[in-house]
Amino acid sequence: MTTKELALHTIEELPEGATWDDVQERINIIAGVRKGLRELDEGKGIPHERVRAEFAQWLSD
């Protein structure tokens, strides 16, 4: 699915009373998820254990 097709599909899924802010928010969410998935595919993710360690440190401070 192309970016344009995904954007159109995303907008079509919104309720009839959706506002411009709703459209923008939904598009931004989809774009962010796609960017994150692309970064994971490129090996740019953070290992789970490192995230756990950082959270443990934040919660103990």
Q: 49 pLDDT exceeds 90?
A: yes
Q: Which two tokens stand for residue 16?
A: 């009839």
CA 38/CA 3 separation, integer angstroms:
13
Question: Does the pTM of the predicted model rise above 0.85?
Answer: no
What's the total number of domains in the chain? 1
The count of C-alpha atoms lying within 13 angstroms of the C-alpha of 46, restricted to the half-sphere facing its C-beta, is 8
The count of C-alpha atoms lying within 13 angstroms of the C-alpha of 12, restricted to the half-sphere facing its C-beta, is 6
pLDDT band at 14 (very low <50, low <70, confident <90, very high): very high
Instruction: Look up the domain containing 33 and give its range.
Output: 3-10+19-60
